[in-house]
Amino acid sequence: MKGEIEVNGAKNSALKILSALVLSKEKCRITNFPFIEDTRRMLEILEDLGVRIFIDEKNKTVEADPSSISKTELNETLVKKLRSSMVISGPILSRFGKLRMPYPGGCVIGKRPIDMFLDGYQKFGAEIAWDEQGFTLTAKEGKLTGAHIFFPKVTVTGTETMMMTAVLAEGKTVLENAAMEPEIVELANYLMRCGAKIKGAGTSTIEIEGVDEISGGEFYVIPDRIETGTFVMMGLVTGSEIKITNCIPKHLGAVLPILEKSGAKLEVGEDYIITKESKLVANSVTTHEYPGFATDLQSPYTLLMTQAEGLSIIHETIFEGRLFFTDQLNTMGANIIMCDPHRVVVSGPTKLYGKRLTSPDLRAGITMILAGMIAEGKTVIDNIYQIDRGYEHIEKRLQALGADIKRVKEK
Ligand code: EPU
């Protein structure tokens, strides 16, 4: 493959701004918006609540007018399709003082606990009533009060949701052991431009002083650091010189130093990365919260290690179940041994052969595409909705680089 590929707006930033806009009665205009399945699901949730949405796909722009929100009950069918729909629960509760929400759904790694969200809401003074279908939250006297929350575990959406919830709560909120992802900093910056009072986003302690209301605003979605890292690994695993543009390399944290230690030859600029032909060597990795090695890049890295000389251990610390896709790489000829659900040993290099695979989740799915590119023969991937959740028009963008890939069945 050869050429340039542009990185799109970050899924995990766009999803949060779509939730944050519910805090205000005024319009929010979002540019560099990624039109992927997950953000479309969130737009459907907003429309169902009564938010007026104006889409300009050609200019990657979405405008949302939340002045007409008519209900505080989330639609079950929609919520079940998107596990991260939990992030909108805080802003609705905080602005309207009540919320009814079914339990969220998700992918195979997505049946995740929501205890830190519910514990947090109780600290803000909300009462919770559970039943089999979902839960109802009610703020005492219609208004939340500031809270002191020490997250027992670092949680990205938990941090973002509690930060948004605190914006309209009365008094001061302190979040400790908070996540530090760049998307959290972007979200805090947007909220501050709209009148929120937030200190410390991007560090492990965030302080928020509640305000009565916030305005609308404009938000530019930062380039997706996971898409960036995926494309870097695509260049390396296929041995191609690819220029990845419109990205922020410094948002990759530990990923670039680890890739360099694995033998990757990279030219890194302010807003681009060029991959060069490299001799890959085994290098073990442990996933970690930002700025550590992102769990969302663990699957393409595992594939990369199947092409590296030697033995490496991949230790997935964030999500159980995120290594099970390695079974499918083994059917292609990889030599990966699972020690336990959190660790595999990869022995490389191995030649891969085309197979029929099923994408279990978004990141394993894109990894299967990369595996198919280097495998001898044809690879067919089923359940590509999972890939469309996070990568826009992926086949067209890869065809432009010279990949032999096509969508067999239109959506
Ligand atoms: N957890 C709990 N209780 C909770 C919430 C989380 O025990 O109430 C646990 C999780 O089970 C996990 C750990 O805490 O073991 C950390 O999970 P976290 O809450 O940080 O994950 P998340 O916020 O649900 C976000 C991204 C993920 C990304 C993780 C880790 C969004 C929408 N999702 O998930 O992105 O993998 O942070 O960085 O921002 C992806 O894009 O493919 C994706 C899965």
151-180 residue pLDDT tens:
999 999 999 999 999 999 999 999 999 999
pLDDT exceeds 50 at position 71: yes
Sign of CA dihedral 236, 237, 242, 244: negative
> Percent of the chain scored above 70 by pLDDT?
98
**Rounded CA separation 225/249 (Å):** 8
Q: Which residue puts its alpha carbon closest to atom 35 of ligand 1?
A: 296
Examine residue 216 and state whether it is found in any structural domain, yes or no: yes
Q: Concatenate the DSSP letters of all residues of 312-377 into one string.
A: EEEE--S-TTTTTTHHHHHHTT-EEEEEETTEEEEEE----B--EEE--SHHHHHHHHHHHHHSBS
Amino acid at 55: I
Q: Is the separation of the CB atoms in 313 and 344 below 8 Å?
A: yes
Q: How confident is the model at residue 104 (pLDDT cuts 50, 70, 90)?
A: confident
Q: 280-334, pLDDT tens digit by residue?
A: 999 999 999 999 999 999 999 999 999 999 999 999 999 988 999 999 999 999 9
Is 114's C-beta closer than 6 angstroms to any atom of ligand 1? yes
For residue 109, the model assigns a pLDDT of 43
Q: Backbone phi, then psi, for 64, in 5-degree steps?
A: -130, 135
For residue 410, the model assigns a pLDDT of 60
Domain end position, chosen among 220, 246, 279: 220
Average pLDDT score over residue span 135-157? 96
Query: In terms of domains, do 76 and 199 share one?
Result: yes
Query: In terms of domains, do 243 and 106 share one?
Result: no
Burial of 132 (0-12, 13-18, 19+ CB in 10 A): exposed
Is 156's C-beta closer than 6 angstroms to any atom of ligand 1? yes
Query: In terms of domains, do 164 and 289 share one?
Result: no
Query: In terms of domains, do 135 and 277 share one?
Result: no
pLDDT exceeds 90 at position 112: no
Q: Where are the beta strands (DSSP E) in 106-203?
A: 126-130, 134-139, 148-150, 172-176, 197-199
For residue 110, the model assigns a pLDDT of 45
Examine residue 411 and state whether it is found in any structural domain, yes or no: no
Examine residue 409 and state whether it is found in any structural domain, yes or no: no
- Rounding to the nearest 10 degrees, give the CA dihedral for residues 324, 107, 222, 6: 60
Q: Give Cβ neighbours of residue 83 (< 8 Å, ≥ 6 apart).
A: 104, 105, 106, 107, 110, 111, 112
The DSSP H or E segment spanning 268 is: strand 265-268
Query: In terms of domains, do 265 and 290 share one?
Result: yes
Q: Backbone phi, then psi, for 13, in 5-degree steps?
A: -100, -45
Query: How is residue 297 annotated by DSSP?
Result: G
Is 153's C-beta closer than 6 angstroms to any atom of ligand 1? yes
Domain that holds residue 256: 225-399
Domain end position, chosen among 171, 191, 220: 220
Query: In terms of domains, do 149 and 276 share one?
Result: no
**Rounded CA separation 369/237 (Å):** 12
**146 in helix, strand or coil?**
coil
Active site residues per annotation: 107
Examine residue 3 and state whether it is found in any structural domain, yes or no: no
Tally the domains of the chain. 2
Examine residue 38 and state whether it is found in any structural domain, yes or no: yes
**Rounded CA separation 179/156 (Å):** 5
Angstrom distances, CA of residue 111 to CA of 106, 107, 281, 364, 403: 6, 7, 35, 16, 34
Query: In terms of domains, do 204 and 320 share one?
Result: no
Query: In terms of domains, do 64 and 161 share one?
Result: yes
Pocket residue to mutate for ligand 1, from 88, 112, 175, 386, most atoms within 8 A of Cβ: 112
Among the listed residues 141, 118, 145, 146, the one whose alpha carbon sits nearest the alpha carbon of residue 130: 118
Query: In terms of domains, do 214 and 68 share one?
Result: yes
Q: 14-61, pLDDT tens digit by residue?
A: 999 999 999 999 999 999 999 999 999 999 999 999 999 999 999 999
Which atom of ligand 1 is found nearest the CA of 84? 32
Domain end position, chosen among 204, 220, 236: 220
The DSSP H or E segment spanning 94 is: helix 89-96
- For 341, the token pair is 């659900």
Examine residue 408 and state whether it is found in any structural domain, yes or no: no
Q: How confident is the model at residue 133 (pLDDT cuts 50, 70, 90)?
A: confident
Is 231's C-beta closer than 6 angstroms to any atom of ligand 1? no
Residue that has been written with the tokens 């910056």 in this structure: 189
Is 298's C-beta closer than 6 angstroms to any atom of ligand 1? no
Query: In terms of domains, do 256 and 134 share one?
Result: no
Q: 378-396, pLDDT tens digit by residue?
A: 999 999 999 999 999 999 9
The DSSP H or E segment spanning 301 is: helix 298-306
Tell me, in angstroms, the distance from the centre of ligand 1 to residue 1's CA. 33
Is 323's C-beta closer than 6 angstroms to any atom of ligand 1? no
Query: In terms of domains, do 287 and 165 share one?
Result: no
Q: Give Cβ neighbours of residue 96 (< 8 Å, ≥ 6 apart).
A: 69, 72
Q: How confident is the model at residue 337 (pLDDT cuts 50, 70, 90)?
A: very high
Tell me, in angstroms, the distance from the centre of ligand 1 to residue 341's CA. 17
pLDDT exceeds 80 at position 199: yes
Q: What is the CATH number of the domain that holds 86?
A: 3.65.10.10
Average pLDDT score over residue span 385-411? 93
Query: In terms of domains, do 203 and 257 share one?
Result: no
Examine residue 405 and state whether it is found in any structural domain, yes or no: no
> Percent of the chain scored above 90 by pLDDT?
93
Q: Is the separation of the CB atoms in 358 and 382 below 8 Å?
A: yes
